[in-house]
Amino acid sequence: MTHLAEQRERAEASGVHHLTVLSNDEPARRARRSWTLALATLGVLAFALSFSQSWWKFTLYAPQYPHGLRLEIALTGLQGDVHEIDMLNHYIGMRHLVQAAPIERAYASYGVAGVCFAVLVGILLLGRRTGRLALLPALLFPIGFITDSFAWLYAFGHQLDPRAPLHVPPFTPQMFGNGQIGQFMTFAEPALGFWLSVVGVALVAAAVEYRQRAVCAHCAHAAKCKDVCPVHFLGNPGKLEKSA
Amino acid sequence: MQIARRALALGVLMSLVGVAGLSCENKAQKEFAKSQGSGNLGASASIKQLMAARHLTESDVEAALKTFVPPGKRDEYMIFASGGQSGQILVLGVPSMRLLKVIGVFTPEPWQGYGYGGGSDKILAAGAQGKKQIGWADVHHPNLSETNGDYDGQFLFVNDKANGRVAVVDLDDFATKQIVANPLVGSDHGGAFVDPNTNYVIETSQYPTPLGRDYAPLSSYKDKYRGVAVFWKFDREKKRIDPSQSFGVELPPYTQDLADAGKLMSDGWAFINSFNTELSTGGTLQGKPPIESGASQNDMDYMHIIDFRKAESLVKAGKAVTIKGMKVLPLAVSGAEGVLTLVGEPKSPHGCDVTPDGTAIVVGGKLDTHATVFEFSKIKKLIENKQYEGKDAYGVPILAFKDAIRGQVEIGLGPLHTVFDNTGNAYTSVFIESKVAKWSLKDMKLIEKLPVHYNIGHIMAAEGDTVSPDGKYVVAMNKMSIDRFTPVGPLYPQNFQLVDITGEKMRLLSDTPIGIGEPHYSQMIKIDKLHPRQTYAVGTDIYTGQRDPNAVDGGKERIVRNGTTVDVYMTAIRSHFVPDQIEVNEGDTVNIHITNLETAEDTTHGFTINMHNIDLSLEPGKHENVTFVADTPGVFPMYCTEFCSALHLEMAGYLLVKPKGA
């Protein structure tokens, strides 16, 4: 029986059926490590890149704005026809856009750095049972943005100054697709930053899954151990085998 | 590996979703555009039916198709036309001939708040002649700035014949930025013309006076009265004429008329015709002939040829005298040094136009049926060889007419001005015959004449006085319209007629009434050479191009009292002023500093205070300062005079002037 077949059998016997059993030789291990780290790094890179991009964009069309008014939301601020949109919003008593999400914008850089850090630490150090938790900070990143943005849109549309010249019933500006406010046809959609974060999540998910499935089968302890061993994942299995 | 590939594929897929999202937006825009559509007329009425109903010929329909600009579409060319007595510049689109704008130049213009309390007051005040503040102008010849002999779309210069002034319009914002008053003479006609790189704006006097306009009896006309060609130095960097670097060339009192600057081989030379070598001064009440006949006795008048580079160096060498603050090269120096040379031209000529290749100067006969084409190379050679026919009474050398010309073309009765196309043809306005004459510069033959309506004065072609004319269009600028338009009382509009010159035969395309003044010259420039701004940076003083030191930011509005001076730092934004209540005491000096905080295009606010003759136009970002003495106690509403928004009427406030002792 070859070493590999022996391992597979041991694994089957210990009920660890889902583990992909791969060759245990050094080049194969190096390749597995490299793929996992490369995917995770690319994912983190996508997150980092998204920091400097707009995450969401709104376009407003009206007869007197034939080319549309644009508003782009990035993690640290707003871009586009902010002045003009504020001017229009003042008619219905909406607050200035710059007053939205001040804390989020101030700490956005730490947030992104934190997410990147947490993802990498998770990939490197988590065990098999907790391995998928590495995806959590990544996943929370775009979801958190959407949730927070929606909350702010809701707040802005529901806290209108009662002394405004125009009285409109409270509303939540459309966050996806077409909407209509007065003479404005609005269109909202995710922008490059958001899509980068989604790509980042996908890459991190791939890294986590790959690591999760591929790491343990070659280990001499695989039969007994139900955890992915971080030391083993990064370290030299040869030494471990010897000690076994 | 497989999983990794799957993950990568997922990433790519997600990116594609993003791309799909982008295309969704285009769809939304299209949807919006559709919802804004003007609706279809439908093909209910056939074109034939329409033609019959409107009594249109096929030729009418063709002209309509050539000039119609559909709603929302733009013109191909822009005309800058003299506004005549209105003192303004008219801007029209071609081929639609729609009026796009009237630019306030020499005359206060309320729409632009030009001359009603803001910074423009200083521009108009600089146009005062002597002690007189002048409230109008006889605008004659607009000229676009040139680079290498071609329009560059940056500046426009224009002269006021009635008061001897030249204005600078910046085409960055289509606003008048400077008026310079000629201190030497009272009227000009040969201007404003620029040399191929706009180093100088040339302004030549019309009716001679003693230079500096001091008193001298008409009996001393020959000795004391003079003409002058002023070369205003244009400082492109500062975007203004620099009078300190400008100079005049004294001319004999021959009543100089139109002028043009040379180009290419004739660059550095200016050509001016004249019509009163007889030195007639009228005297109709004393039984002497009026100037019209007095000035028409000699068979020849003189075209003036000025080597202005030489003039410039002589002025630099200290050969000029200073009259009323302006350096003037004396006639004796000009004649002796070869700066000024004369050449005979058929009597009482009109128009003096350099051909696109710079080799010839075309002079219309007016009282002679010919257009005379002077050959520049011959003129230059004669001057170099000092081959003179003689000298005039002022010692100015005269060239022999026959040695200086390429030839003459029989045009018809009353040839005036000449413009050019891109295929070597010239188009001359024929005043008495009311026609446009097309003739070939190459073989000097008349090709065709087109009737125009009526009494054509100036003529203009698309970029037709540059080194590279566009052809395409000619505009006949007719002095009379007689029966062409619906009657509007005894003062008739002028008539601009657009002529298509692309075909073998000239085609009249449209009549456009001009009901604001009698335009003289105009120029037509391709739209793509113009790049005007849409807004100003917030707080801009448009006369410095910089942020005004008193510019007001949103939230920084305030009223500051200092003794009896009140400074109001104010902003305007849809649809309110901050502050909107100003309370002062009778006798206070009030300075209002007002910034339009708008940044979107076409969001202009106006500002007026009732009964104070204050009227400002605040285009987006513009800042204005206005000062007045609150000498009338009372209550004065102030409001925005541009319909800026649905709450425009609410964009108002009050100035309260408390009576003394109250």
For B558-594, write each residue's pLDDT tens digit: 999 999 999 999 999 999 999 999 999 999 999 999 9
Q: What is the pLDDT of residues B303-321, one digit of tens each?
A: 999 999 999 999 999 999 9
Give dist(CA B244, CA B249) in Å, integer: 15
Q: How far apart are the first and last CA of chain B?
A: 92
Mean pLDDT across the stretch A157-169? 93
Reading the block at residue B375, the tokens are: 């050959």
For residue A18, pLDDT beyond 80 = no
Mean pLDDT across the stretch A113-142? 87
Residue from B471, B509, B477 nearest B493 by CA: B477
The answer to whether the CB atoms of A195 and B600 lie below 8 A apart is: no
Which residue has tokens 């002597």? B130
Supply the pLDDT for residue A10: 62
Per-residue DSSP letter, B369: S
Helix (H, G, I), strand (E, B) or coil at B213: coil
- CB < 8 Å to A68, chain B: 29, 32
Mutate to test the interface with A, among B14, B73, B651 (most CBs of A within 10 A): B14
- CB < 8 Å to B598, chain A: 87
DSSP per-residue codes, B504-529:
SS-EEEEEEEE-SS----EEEEEGGG
* The dihedral sign for the CA sequence B435, B439, B444, B445: negative
Residue B465 or residue B21, greater confidence: B465
For residue A226, pLDDT beyond 50 = no
Give dist(CA B54, CA B75) in Å, integer: 25
Mean pLDDT (chain B) is 93
For residue A233, pLDDT beyond 80 = no
The phi-psi region of residue B179 (left if phi > 0; otherwise alpha if psi is between -120 and 50; otherwise beta) is beta
What residues in chain A have their Cβ under 8 A from chain B's Cβ atoms? Answer: 31, 35, 39, 57, 59, 61, 63, 66, 68, 81, 83-84, 87, 91, 165, 177-178, 185, 187, 189-190, 192, 195, 198-199, 202-203, 205-207, 209-210, 213-214
Which structural domains are found in chain B, ordered by start?
A: 77-529 (2.130.10.10), 540-658 (2.60.40.420)
Give dist(CA B347, CA B300) in Å, integer: 4
Mean pLDDT across the stretch B92-114? 98
Task: Report percent pLDDT > 90 for chain B.
Answer: 89
For residue B11, pLDDT beyond 90 = no
Residue of chain B whose Cα is closest to the Cα of A37? B4
Mean pLDDT across the stretch A4-27? 55
The answer to whether the CB atoms of A202 and B599 lie below 8 A apart is: no
DSSP per-residue codes, B89-117:
EEEEEETT--EEEEE-SSS-BTTTTBTSS
Residue A16 or residue B178, greater confidence: B178
* Chain A nearest C-alpha distance from B545 (Å): 22
For residue B280, pLDDT beyond 50 = yes
Supply the pLDDT for residue B44: 45
Supply the pLDDT for residue B32: 66
* The dihedral sign for the CA sequence B5, B7, B10, B15: negative
Mutate to test the interface with B, among A33, A60, A203, A213 (most CBs of B within 10 A): A203
For residue A212, pLDDT beyond 80 = no
pLDDT band at A81 (very low <50, low <70, confident <90, very high): very high
Judge whether B569 and B557 are in contact, CB under 8 Å: yes
Residue of chain A whose Cα is closest to the Cα of B21? A189
Query: Residue A178 forms beta bridges with which residues?
Result: A187
The answer to whether the CB atoms of A192 and B18 lie below 8 A apart is: yes
Q: What is the pLDDT of residues B473-515, one digit of tens each?
A: 999 999 999 999 999 999 999 999 999 999 999 999 999 999 9
For residue A114, pLDDT beyond 50 = yes
Residue B174 or residue B44, greater confidence: B174
Mean pLDDT across the stretch B619-642? 98
Mean pLDDT across the stretch A92-96? 94
3-state secondary structure chain A: CCHHHHHHHHHHHCCCCCCCCCCCCHHHHHHHHHHHHHHHHHHHHHHHHHHCCEEEEEEEEECCEEEEEEEEEECCCEEECHHHHHHHHHCCCCCCHHHCCHHHHHCHHHHHHHHHHHHHHHHHHCCCCCHHHHHHHHHHHHHHHHHHHHHHHHHHHHCCCCCCCCCCCCCCCCCCEEEEECCEEEEEEECHHHHHHHHHHHHHHHHHHHHHHHCCCCCCCCCCCCCCCHHHHHCCHHHHHHHC
* Chain B nearest C-alpha distance from A154 (Å): 23
* Chain A nearest C-alpha distance from B70 (Å): 17
Where do the domains of chain A lie? 3-243
Mean pLDDT across the stretch B105-109? 97
Supply the pLDDT for residue A28: 63
Mean pLDDT across the stretch B168-178? 98
* Chain A nearest C-alpha distance from B104 (Å): 27
Supply the pLDDT for residue A19: 46
For chain B, the C-alpha Rg in angstroms (whole number) is 29
Mean pLDDT (chain A) is 82
For residue A21, pLDDT beyond 50 = no
Supply the pLDDT for residue A11: 58
Judge whether B331 and B392 are in contact, CB under 8 Å: no
Q: What is the pLDDT of residues B399-427, one digit of tens each?
A: 999 999 999 999 999 999 999 999 999 99
Supply the pLDDT for residue A213: 66
Mean pLDDT across the stretch B130-144? 93
- CB < 8 Å to B1, chain A: 31, 35
Per-residue DSSP letter, B255: -
Sheet with B456-462, edge to edge strand ranges: B99-103, B89-94, B77-82, B522-526, B456-462, B471-478, B494-500, B507-514
The answer to whether the CB atoms of B28 and A198 lie below 8 A apart is: no
pLDDT band at B66 (very low <50, low <70, confident <90, very high): very high
Lowest mean pLDDT segment, chosen from A202-211, B241-250, B534-543, B546-555: A202-211
Mean pLDDT across the stretch A26-47? 83
Size of interface A-B (CB pairs under 8 A): 86
Give dist(CA B457, CA B477) in Å, integer: 6
For residue A236, pLDDT beyond 70 = no
Query: Residue B91 forms beta bridges with which residues?
Result: B80, B101
Q: What is the pLDDT of residues B346-404, one digit of tens each?
A: 988 999 999 999 999 999 988 889 999 999 999 999 999 999 999 999 999 999 999 99
The answer to whether the CB atoms of A195 and B4 lie below 8 A apart is: no
Mean pLDDT across the stretch B204-225? 97
Supply the pLDDT for residue A194: 96
For residue A237, pLDDT beyond 50 = no
Q: What is the pLDDT of residues B239-272, one digit of tens each?
A: 999 999 999 999 999 999 999 999 999 999 999 9
- CB < 8 Å to B15, chain A: 195, 199
Mean pLDDT across the stretch B11-29? 48
Supply the pLDDT for residue A242: 42
Maximum alpha-carbon separation in chain B: 114
Which residues does B467 contact at the CB level (< 8 Å), separation at least 6?
A: B148, B149, B150, B196, B263, B264, B356, B357, B358
Residue of chain B whose Cα is closest to the Cα of A22? B1
